[in-house]
């Protein structure tokens, strides 16, 4: 009986042992026009950075760890496609079944592209890092942190659960975090920032202008907005449950109460709307 138990235990341990594997793919394209790059993954970290003009290159690595009783893990779907100046990079797990154990699958996607390029990145679960790209840029992850540096153009940053840190921006920005902090800095013509639960910090540098209304909003978290001395706007600030702090030694006409501040900054007329549901609101200079 003892021999049988020992043998069964050994077989069970061998069956439940962890197995690991790694795979990699890479591809390069030469493009004559202004490229558009789409990157799609359901579980992976994406890093995009500027490279030589007229060239796009991609490296995809895939790591998996399996422990427990499982079917033979299916290979992931990795595709590199080109249609004119449009390049599409797809990296998706196929869904594997494990009994009395688990499986961990993760992509790392590294893409080099021209600094002038339209970019669309979508990740179901994983962080996104993008540096030094100009164009129409849309970054979206269901669950992961986002870091953007030196982006210029029409910018959209979106995460369902995770923080956003963005610096050196230039252009029109819309950014959302369902649950996480939001920190941005740059020169803006349009600003639309919202976080459901997290601290929000926006630093607006000299040269920014309200060519259309701006909105900065957090549901649950403190807000700090820094603006240049010469910004023109019709300020409309409100906090439901928090203190309102103003440190603006600039020309302003309007009214201030414990939770509200409304008035013209430097004789401006385009609305700058600031809202916090539960948290303090601070307005200060960025220079």
Task: Please check whether residue 136 lies inside any domain of the structure.
Answer: no
What is the distance between the alpha carbons of residues 231 and 118, in angstroms, rounded to a whole number?
30
More confidently predicted of 2 and 173: 173
Distance CA 123, CA 146 (A): 11
| Residue 250 confidence (pLDDT) above 80 | no
**Bigger pLDDT: 47 or 99?**
47
Higher per-residue pLDDT: 244 or 158:
158
Looking at per-residue pLDDT, the higher value among 136 and 240 belongs to 136
| pLDDT at residue 143, as a whole number | 94
Residue 181 and residue 72: Cα distance in Å, rounded? Answer: 40
Q: Is a pLDDT exceeding 80 seen at residue 54?
A: yes
Residue 102 inside a domain? The answer is yes
The structural domain count of the chain equals: 2
What does the pLDDT read at residue 190? 97
What is the reported pLDDT for 5? 39
The last residue of a domain, from among 115, 137, 164:
115
List, in order, residues 6 or more apart from 24 with CB less than 8 Å away: 59, 60, 61, 62
Residue 128, token pair as written in the block? 């996104």
**pLDDT recorded at residue 269:** 94
Strand 164-177 to 19-30 pairing: unpaired
User: What is the model's pLDDT at position 242?
Assistant: 83
Average pLDDT over all residues of the chain? 88
Domain carrying residue 150: 145-287
What is the per-residue pLDDT for 221? 92
Above 50 in pLDDT, residue 4? Answer: no
Residues 92 and 161 in one domain: no
Verify that 152 and 92 share a domain, yes or no: no
Q: Where are the alpha helices (DSSP H) in the chain?
A: 2-15
Same domain, 210 and 267: yes
Q: What gap in Å lies between CA 125 and CA 237, rounded to an integer? A: 35
Output the pLDDT for position 244.
87
Residues 269 and 150 in one domain: yes
Residue 121 belongs to some domain of the structure? no
* Residue 123 maps to a domain: no
What is the DSSP track for the chain?
Answer: -HHHHHHHHHHHHHHT--EEEEEEEEEEEE-SS--EEEEEESSEEEEEEE-STTEEEEEEEEEEEEEEEEPPPPPPEEEEEEETTEEEEEEE-----EEEEEEEEEEEEEEEE-SB-EEEEEESSS-EEEES-EEEEEEEESSS-EEEES-EEEEEEEESSS-EEEEEEEEEEEEEESSS-EEEEEEEEEEEEEESSS-EEEEEPTT---SS-EEEEESSS-EEEEE-TT--EEEEEEESSS-EEEE--S-EEEEE-SSEEEEEETT--SEEEEEESSS-EEEEE--
30, 163: one domain: no
Tell whether 44 is covered by a domain.
yes
Tokens 């459901």 — which residue?
A: 196
Supply the pLDDT for residue 2. 34
Predicted pLDDT of residue 213? 97
Residue with more model confidence, 58 or 241:
58
182-220 per-position pLDDT tens digit: 999 999 999 999 999 999 999 999 999 999 999 999 999
Answer with the one of 115, 135, 158 that is the final residue of a domain. 115
In a domain, 130, yes or no: no
Residue 287 has pLDDT above 90, yes or no: no
106 and 150 share a domain?
no
Are 109 and 247 within one domain? no
Residue 6 placed within a domain:
no
Quick check: 6 pLDDT over 60? no
């Amino acid at each position: 009986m003892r021999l049988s138990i020992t043998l069964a235990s050994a077989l069970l341990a061998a069956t439940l042992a962890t197995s690991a594997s790694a795979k990699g793919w890479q591809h390069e394209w030469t493009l004559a026009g202004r490229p558009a790059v789409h990157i799609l993954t359901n579980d992976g970290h994406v890093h995009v950075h500027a490279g030589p003009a007229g060239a796009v290159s991609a490296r995809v690595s895939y790591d998996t760890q399996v422990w427990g009783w499982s079917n033979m893990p299916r290979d992931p779907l990795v595709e590199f496609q080109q249609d004119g100046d449009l390049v599409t990079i797809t990296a998706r797990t196929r869904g594997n079944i494990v009994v009395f154990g688990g499986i961990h699958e993760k992509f790392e996607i590294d893409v080099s592209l021209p600094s002038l390029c339209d970019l669309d990145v979508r990740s179901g679960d994983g962080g996104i890092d993008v540096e030094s790209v100009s164009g129409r840029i849309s970054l979206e992850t269901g669950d992961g942190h986002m870091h953007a540096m030196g982006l210029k153009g029409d910018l959209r940053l979106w995460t369902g659960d995770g923080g956003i840190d963005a610096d050196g921006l230039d252009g029109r920005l819309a950014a959302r975090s369902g649950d996480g902090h939001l920190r941005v800095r740059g020169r803006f013509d349009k600003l639309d920032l919202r976080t459901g639960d997290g601290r929000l910090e926006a630093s607006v540098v000299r040269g920014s202008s309200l060519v259309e209304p701006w909105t900065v909003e957090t549901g649950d978290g403190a807000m700090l907005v820094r603006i240049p001395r010469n910004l023109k706007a019709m300020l409309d600030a409100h906090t439901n449950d928090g203190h309102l702090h103003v440190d603006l030694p600039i020309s302003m006409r309007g009214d201030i109460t414990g939770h509200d501040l409304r008035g013209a900054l430097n004789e401006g007329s385009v609305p700058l709307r600031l809202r916090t549901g539960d948290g303090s609101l601070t307005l200060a200079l960025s220079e």
